[in-house]
Copies of this chain bind each other. A is one copy, B any other.
Amino acid sequence: MELVTGGAGFIGSHLVDALVAQGKRVRVLDNFSSGREEFLAHHGEQVEVVRADLLDLDATKAAMKGVETVHHMAANPDIRLGTEVTDTDLRQGTVATYNVLEAMRSAGVSRISFSSSSAIYGEADVMPTPETYGPIKPISLYGASKLASEGLISAWCGTFGAKSWIHRFANIVGPRGTHGVIFDFIHKLKADPTRLEVLGDGLQEKSYMSAEDCVRAMVHLVDETDEAVNLYNLGTGDTCSVRRIAEIVVEESAIEGVAIEYTGGSRGWAGDVPRTSLDVEYLFSTGFEPTMQSEAAIRHTTRALIDEIGL
């Protein structure tokens, strides 16, 4: 049995699809704060769903019964929220990860695959940024909680003999996205089809990977790598600017005469990292190849989300 925390969420539900396709039995643990039942509906009875919060340690322990590997995907999905309610990421990130690990320990479950983030690197002065980059100085509270979770997982491996896979995600985009720049742009166009407001100067440049490629890479690494702590950047090796994303969304919307307007400044919001580029040679060395580069992933996602949101 595989347990997917946050399995009803955006990337989590794609991972459930990938595990089910592998023939695995899957249990989802989700508090449905951002997860949605319809993201799992196509699996019917095949996927067991536990509606509980990771801050409830007893419920988390109960969900560990018969589990081989925990895929810990649950987290606050909104980086910006951390600047307003400053304990959001501490609780839903760091403390939740502690509860997952403690529940695993008490149930004798020893394998964990974890969705970390390129947000831990902050404004790295080496780009593309390799896994060996240091010292790591996150600039968002979200990034801090991912770094804290990595540390907890590594300490559990060192102290209690667990085995782990830590995946440092680029920006992941795809069908079922419930937040992020493409999602925001489509909602803005829906509210006002004459103009599209872009936070910052549009020159922010980041790595994007499709959710489908992302979960394929996760499953690949869990199957193919075997250290105590297996730590990899997950991305495509290239980047795409926010300006280009705005253009693609407008193109795909098929709305004529949209004025793209920039609020200015290099950051979209406090804690936003203007430029990220992940070195993914280590991932590629394991034999993995993404099917879509950044721009293709953006276009694929735009089409899927326009379909889901409606324009």
Contacts and interface: CB of A to CB of B under 8 A. Distances in A.
A155 B135 contact: no
28 contacts: A86-B98, A87-B98, A87-B102, A90-B95, A90-B98, A90-B152, A122-B158, A132-B134, A132-B135, A134-B136, A135-B231, A137-B154, A137-B229, A138-B154, A138-B155, A139-B157, A140-B158, A141-B152, A141-B155, A144-B151, A145-B151, A147-B147, A147-B148, A147-B150, A147-B151, A148-B151, A155-B271, A160-B270
A232 to B, nearest CB: 10
Contacts of A64: none
Nearest to A126: B132
Contact of A83 (B139, B144, B150, B159): B159
Given A139-B155, A147-B151, 5 more contacts: A83-B160, A123-B158, A134-B134, A143-B151, A148-B151
A192 to B, nearest CB: 30
Q: Oligomeric state, in number of copies?
A: 2
Contacts of A276: none
A16 interface: no
Interface secondary structure of A, over-half rule: helix
A302 interface: no
A197 interface: no
A131 interface: yes
A148 B90 CA distance: 10
Contacts of A135: 131-132, 134, 150, 231
Contacts of A141: 152, 155, 159
A94 interface: yes
A106 B135 CA distance: 28
Contact of A136 (B122, B140, B151): B151
A25 interface: no
Interface in A136-181: 136-141, 143-145, 147-148, 150-152, 154-155, 157-160
